[in-house]
Amino acid sequence: MINVHVLNGPNINLLGRREPQIYGSTTLADIEKLVRDKAETLGAAITFRQSNHEGQLVDWIQEAGAQGAGIVINAGAYTHTSIALRDAIAGSGAPTIEIHLSNVHAREGFRHRSFIAPVSVGVICGFGPMSYLLGLEAVHHVMVERARLQKPSQH
């Protein structure tokens, strides 16, 4: 079974209340339910977590890598500031999809730079809660393909 860790950074726990004109009215609990429902259709196991603390996110990234899991991460503001998260992703070996609810490229200039993107398989942004579902599908696809390519051929 494919295992995916969905990790959420600072202030993501405020979804539904925080700047609804940007992030919408969907709560993190609503998103978790959507992700779990989608994972069930894919046959994937989900670990869904949120922390406002950078070191906790680093620990969870390392844990995902050690378990051979994929990662979908909405690192929030840490996307634009955290070399520690970048290094954890690079060192973990976990295929990672960076996601954002809003289109960060249509926002303030400081949000245009991601330390995580260069060590991620891909980036999905601007689709609201659907960004999580697209991220889950993407990392699931990557992991299925990697597993297929690692199997010895049966000739």
**Residue 140 designated active-site:** no
- Tokens 């994972």 appear where? 39
Catalytic residue among 23, 78, 132, 140: 23
Closest Cα to residue 137, out of 22, 37, 51?
Answer: 37
Judge whether 30 is annotated as a binding position.
Answer: no
Whose CA is closest to 89, among 133, 128, 124, 54?
Answer: 54
Query: How many Cβ atoms are within 10 Å of 123's Cβ, its own excluded?
Result: 20
The answer to whether 80 is a known ligand-binding residue is yes
Q: Out of 5, 78, 100, 132, which one is annotated catalytic?
A: 100
Which amino acid is it at 108? E
Residue 87, marked binder: yes
- Whether 74 has a binding-site annotation, put simply, is yes
Residue ranges of alpha helices (H) inside the chain are 20-23, 28-42, 54-66, 83-92, 130-150
Q: Please choose, from the candidates 31, 41, 40, the residue with its C-alpha nearest in 3D space to the C-alpha of residue 6.
A: 31
Q: Where are the beta strands (DSSP E) in 1-152?
A: 2-8, 44-50, 70-74, 96-100, 122-125
**111 in a known ligand binding site:** yes
Structure letter (DSSP) for residue 121: S
Identify whether 100 is a catalytic site residue: yes
Known binding residues for substrate are: 74, 80, 87, 101-102, 111
Catalytic residue numbers, as ranges: 23, 100
Known binding residues are: 74, 80, 87, 101-102, 111
